[in-house]
A and B are shown apart, each in its own frame.
Chain A
Amino acid sequence: MGNVFVICEIEEGKVADVSLELLTKGRSLANDLNCKLEAVALGHNIKGIESQIYPYGVDVIHLGDDKRLEFYTTLPYTSIIVDLFKAEKPEVCLLGASTLGRDLGPRVSSALFSGLTADCTALEIGDHSDKKAGKEYKDLLYQIRPAFGGNIVATIINPDCRPQMATVREGVMKMEIHDASYKGEIKEIDVDKILKPEDLVVKVIERHMEKSKVNIKNSSIIVAGGYGMGSKEGFNQLYQLADVLSAEVGASRAAVDAGFADHERQIGQTGVTVRPKLYIACGISGQIQHTAGMEESSMIIAINNDSNAPINKIADYVINGDVNDIVPKLIKLYKKNTK
């Protein structure tokens, strides 16, 4: 049986958080499958990158270091990974559901005719019996994700094709060092041998990468607003509440789609996953797409005027009423009691 592979994203010599989270998950899947965990690291001048990767319990790093791999472009990365996978026949391949992973994953899966499931919120190992075909499958990767606007949760499997590929968003899996002194081995990829001239037709002309201005993922208090805020002006009140509480402002997809907030504030399956100490959900109904990204918050306060809102079922406190009336009251009362 093949091993578990994780494609590592590297930006400015640092392995991305989402890749380290997937290595953590990959280690536990490899333990369940009793196989090795292998990482793929592509870039330029990335010697020494292994010190960031081994501690997550990585047995083998496939390293491709070449000037042509400095910035991610689809075709060279695809060629290298397809070539590697044809030789290594991985059982499982995990990628971040980032702009890189969501560009690369489908291209690789199409070339290898292997299934790919996007934006998984849980990954487990389990069996499957196909009664129609009379076939039994052992140790498949269950790729679990909300689907259909969050109205259902689907478990997807790839019974016959390998690798079983899945993308996962940043923050969904926990990042945990397996063993700080863990050592694996490096296998160099012969980039020159693989890359063809036609892999290089797309070129990066200019790049402006910003450090994210908002840091909702690491904030211990989050004030999040939904479509129920009613307007951009209504939504903007949340910044004042966040300001007094030293919190960050998050948003549901509906609020982002309505233009109340930027996408970088979106919490949920297609945004960030957060686990703050306190989550205040204002005018958010709580579709599973959203709750998938915040249900592990230590404490949840829901403010809305719909006593049947799904969010109320996972909340610790439900404040029933007009959110535009309650938020200013909370600001006032907080100031009064902290003087």
Chain B
Amino acid sequence: MGLKIIVLAKQVPDTRNVGKDAMKADGTVNRAALPAIFNPEDLNALEQALRLKDRYPGSEVTILTMGPGRAADIIREGLYRGADNGYLLTDRAFAGSDTLATSYAISCAIKKISDYDIIIAGRQAIDGDTAQVGPQVAEKLGLPQVTYAEEIVSVTEGIVAEDDKYGVPHAILADEVSLNIKGSLVIKRRLERGVETVGTTFPCVLTVNASAPDCRPRNAKKVQKYKHAKTVTEIQDQSEDYMDLTADRPYLKIEEWSVNDIETDINWLGLSGSPTKVKKIENVVFQAKEAKKISSDESELEELIVELIENHTIG
């Protein structure tokens, strides 16, 4: 069985390393001013996809990312680690999108890719921490979702005749409500207070936690193979030598889609497609209060301990 897997990945500013010019006046993020990295949980998602590919030879892993031109780095990084191809969705029309407008644009791109079995994303991105895009993409595509996934326990292809506890076998669903069912998955989910195992049909959307296995490192051969992979925009700046190099290597072309390459309703994109608006941004300023300074000297520490014991804070 060869599975077609789409991994949703995001290039994120490294929020652990933020400078003063990180925000623009309109309250959106000035991505140009920040180091950009592969969103950590999207790497956990990629690993799950690559494990499926290991298990089911002939599977294909496609990276889909939305962002500025330099987000092509994410696709190259994915190729170095074992993905087969990638799509960069990039257009000014997507600028200022909130999670819903982002999910809409991504779902339109997935519809264009059209042939897929499983969509896997990281649970959330470190720049927003919202965890909303995965479920919203699933809703837009009318697919079931399993969030907080930690492990894909099993994959069964095709419609299984099963004795369903709700009396709705998949065969009937496929037949009577023409639900698209290619097979079923068993997934282990990591919840805040425990573990849950669920079964779902696929196609479906999974979001993967950081508690899932880390992504494998780059593979040296794949780095050699894909280091010259470029989008059409990046190719414009290249020499003739590069053109010669890529002429018989179609795998070096990273697909780049603008808003015109996918079918969308423009009102649902960017700022106009975003129900949430940023009203106000405040930089964080702590109200300074006078703290009592204590050195690491034992007599000073003892004084503090005695004070805390006497006023019944401790002890």
Contact = CB atoms under 8 A, between A and B. Distances in A.
A291 B16 CA distance: 16
Interface string B288-299: 110111111010
A317 B283 CA distance: 25
A299 B313 contact: yes
A207 interface: yes
Most chain B beta-carbon neighbours within 10 Å: one of A73, A75, A102, A106: A106
Contact of B284 (A113, A118, A152, A329): A152
A337 B314 CA distance: 11
A322 B301 CA distance: 13
Nearest to B140: A110
Interface string A298-339: 010110000000101111111111100110011001101110
A221 interface: yes
B275 A115 contact: yes
Contacts of A322: 296
Nearest to A103: B147
Interface residues of A, number: 92
Query: Interface majority SS on A: helix, strand, loop or mixed?
Result: mixed
A314 B193 contact: no
Nearest to B29: A148
A28 interface: no
A154 B280 contact: yes
Given A202-B144, A316-B291, A207 B99 contact: no
Contacts of B170: 201
Task: Give the interface SS of chain B, mostly helix, strand, loop or mixed.
Answer: mixed
B198 A203 contact: yes
B281 A154 contact: yes
Contacts of B296: 319-322, 325-326, 329
Given A117-B276, A118-B131, A318 B291 contact: yes
B143 to A, nearest CB: 10
B291 A302 contact: yes
A291 B131 CA distance: 22
B199 A318 contact: no
Interface stretch (B2-10, B76-84, B122-130, B250-258): B122-130
B135 A320 contact: no
Contacts of A203: 164-166, 198-200
B263 interface: no
A301 B314 CA distance: 13
A48 interface: no
Contacts of A320: 293-296
Nearest to B201: A201
Question: B130, B197, B275, B288: which has the most chain A beta carbons within 10 Å?
Answer: B275
B100 A314 contact: no
Interface stretch (B44-52, B58-66, B173-181, B223-231): B173-181
Given A330-B301, A337-B309, A313 B287 contact: yes
B158 interface: no
B186 interface: yes
Contacts of A111: 139
A321 B293 CA distance: 11
A288 B282 CA distance: 12
Contacts of B16: 149, 254
A202 B200 contact: yes
A119 B131 CA distance: 10
A160 B271 CA distance: 13
B148 A158 contact: no
A192 B22 CA distance: 51
Nearest to B293: A318
A321 B294 CA distance: 9
Given A116-B99, A152-B281, A329 B301 contact: yes
B69 interface: no
A254 B126 CA distance: 12
Contacts of A230: none
B90 interface: no
Contact of B277 (A110, A157, A314, A319): A157
Interface string A174-211: 00000000000000000000001110111111111111
Contacts of B279: 128, 142, 155-157
A68 B164 CA distance: 12
A74 interface: yes
A2 interface: no
B194 A210 contact: yes
Contacts of A211: 193
B313 A277 contact: yes
B77 to A, nearest CB: 20
Nearest to A100: B191
- Of the listed residues A142, A205, A314, the one surrounded by the most CB atoms of chain B closer than 10 A to its CB is A205
Given A68-B166, A107-B138, 5 more contacts: A99-B148, A115-B276, A148-B15, A207-B195, A209-B191
Which 3 A-B pairs rank lowest in CB-CB distance, beginning with the nearest?
A149-B15, A321-B296, A115-B275
28 contacts: A99-B148, A99-B189, A99-B191, A103-B145, A106-B135, A106-B136, A109-B132, A109-B275, A110-B140, A148-B29, A149-B15, A152-B284, A153-B282, A156-B276, A158-B276, A197-B168, A198-B177, A202-B199, A205-B186, A205-B197, A208-B195, A278-B313, A316-B291, A321-B296, A326-B301, A329-B301, A337-B302, A337-B306
